[in-house]
Each structure stands twice: as structure tokens, then as C-alpha cells.
Amino acid sequence: MRTFLTMLSLAGLAVILVLSGCAWGDNGTIELSVTDAPIIDEDSVTGVYVTFEGVEYNRDGQWESMVGFGDPQAHNLLELTGGESALLGSLSLPAGTYEQIRFLVAAEDEGLPVPNNTGTWINRDENLVYDEGVDDPLFVPSGAQTGYKATAGEPFTVPVNGTVEITADFDLRRAVVELGATGTYILKPVIRLVVNDQIGTISGDVTNNTVNDLVVYAYEDGAFSATEDDDPVADDDSRFPNAVTSSRVEDTDSDTFLDYALAFLREGRYDLVIAQYAPVDGSYIAGSGESIDLEAVDVLAGQVTSQDLTED
């Protein structure tokens, strides 16, 4: 009898362990970071602060919060260019395959009065807090209070009891939109998601034989056309709208050359376009980005492709 009871107890313990293992094993982790491409034609901007309040995933048509985000986080996205990123957290969610996640941010709805301590704004001075009358609040487009969706180029998998590292590119040059000449700015990003072990970088030195500032744009092979540098028509249009990412050409090291870095690129082939901007006000030099400067630059996952450029 004692042996029989012992066997029942062991069997019961085994069932408990199996059930516990299944419950825990249903989850995985996203290690989520954010990055940005620079704002090109706003030289007076010293920062674009976005306060993140949470991240959600979509399962069976329902949005649910990822676990582990914690308190709201404010990040100056302009500091996260040229391959830099900021970790939002290691967030738990059901294991499985996903294409979209959603960011919740602290921003006022367009048309509402702006509080003194808005969580999302364009910074135009050296203070690290919102200054009413100096800085510009960033509004959420009317009716978009549900958050900002971010889409991956292809579905990614959150492994059972494992971790996948994901980076979200906000690309502020397209995300910050001024409504006409009203001085009202809205945050309207098209956020690109990449899996970190599937990406690479193009970087190199640039010989600048002009007096202008330079920006390098990366296009997927064959995606560039001569109309990419046309003047934007609508408020939410941008120049070079189909570029995957961009990089200012700057002096970032001790050599005599200027440098650029196009980071967080999915493995594949890219065309590079150089555009010129006036150093005084950041305005675009018409026609400077009408053609491809370099075709067929290959990016491999986990590698840096070195490619030097010359602009005359």
C-alpha cells in the first residue's frame, strides 16, 4: 500500500512539473531596442524626445501588453543615429511568430491644449525638459491614440523559453510632420523592425569636394527613381521617401576624412544616393540627389561592408 501511494505521489508530482513547464514554456522574450535616422533640414533641433509607456503584441486579432516594460522611458531619438540604439527592455510575451508590435507613447492628441510637462516634444535649446514657448510639443495624429504600429520586413519568431533581439527604427526625418505653416508638429512614424542577427552595416569615408553638408541614403536594389528628390506635396510627404535609412556625413574619428554609417540594414543589396544640403539653413540643394552614386552594395548579416564615397 505504501509503495502504491508513493507511486501515486510521484505521478502527481510529475504531472505538476509537466503542467508548470508547459505554462512557463509558452513564453519567450523580446530584447527590444530603438534607433533613428537623423532629421536633415532642421538645424535648430537639438533633440526629439519620445516617452514610451509600453509595448504591445497582436495575438488572434487582440493587442496585449508585453510584460516587463516598467515605468515610462524618455529617449532623445536624435542621439540614436549612426548605429547607436537604446534598450527599452527585455519583454515577455507568448512564444510564436509575429509581424507587428505597437508602441504606446506619452503625447497629447492633436488639437488639445499642451501641458507644461508634455512627454514627447522637439527640443530647441540645451535644457533636457520641455520649455513652453521655446520647444515644440509633438502631438499624436487625431484618432491615433491606440499607439504606433511597427512592422517587420518578414515575420520573426519569439522562441519558447528563448530570446530574440529586435531593433525598431523610428526614422524621424519622415516621422516628424509639420501641419502646413501652423507650427504644429505631429509624430507620424513608419517604424521599421529588424532582427539583430539578420542585419549588417554599410560604412566608410567620404571625400566632400563641395561646400555643402552631405547625407547618404540607402535604397533596396532597384527601388530608387529620379523623382525621389522631388519637393514634398502633402504635409506628411518627405524627400527620398523610399529610402530604407540615411546617415549624415560627419567627422566622427581622428582621420582627415568625413564618415557615414548606414546601420540596421537587412541582408541584401543596396544602392547609395548622396544628397547635398545648405550648411546655413539645412535646405536641400535641388537636383543633388537625382541619381545613384553607387550601385549594388551587398550587406551580409553580422558584417560591416566598407564602402568609401566621393562627392564632387
Give the pLDDT confidence of 245-257 residue by residue, as tens digits: 999 999 877 667 8
Torsion of CA 247, 252, 258, 262, to 10 degrees: -30
206 and 310 Cβ atoms separated by less than 8 Å: yes
Q: Is the pLDDT score of 286 beyond 80? A: yes
Cell numbers representing residue 96 in the block: 510564436
- What's residue 39's pLDDT? 79
Residue 16 pLDDT grade (very low, low, confident, very high; cuts 50, 70, 90): very low
Domain boundaries, the chain: 27-189, 198-312
Q: In residues, how long is the chain?
A: 312
Collect all residues with Cβ–Cβ distance below 8 Å to 22 and sequence separation of at least 6.
none
CATH level 3 topology of 198-312: Immunoglobulin-like (2.60.40)
Banded model confidence at residue 41, pLDDT cuts 50, 70, 90: low
pLDDT score at 4: 37
Phi, psi of 134 (to 5 degrees): -115, -55
Sort strands 47-59 and 96-105 into parallel, antiparallel or unpaired. antiparallel
Query: What is the reported pTM?
Result: 0.86
Q: Which tens digits make up the pLDDT trace of 72-82?
A: 999 999 999 98
User: pLDDT band at 122, cuts 50/70/90?
Assistant: confident
Q: In whole angstroms, what is the distance from residue 51 CA to residue 140 CA?
A: 12
Residue partners of 251: CB distance under 8 A and separation at least 6: 258, 259
Q: Which of 29-43, 80-94, 103-117 has the highest mean pLDDT?
A: 80-94
129-163 pLDDT tens trace? 777 777 888 887 754 566 899 999 899 999 999 99
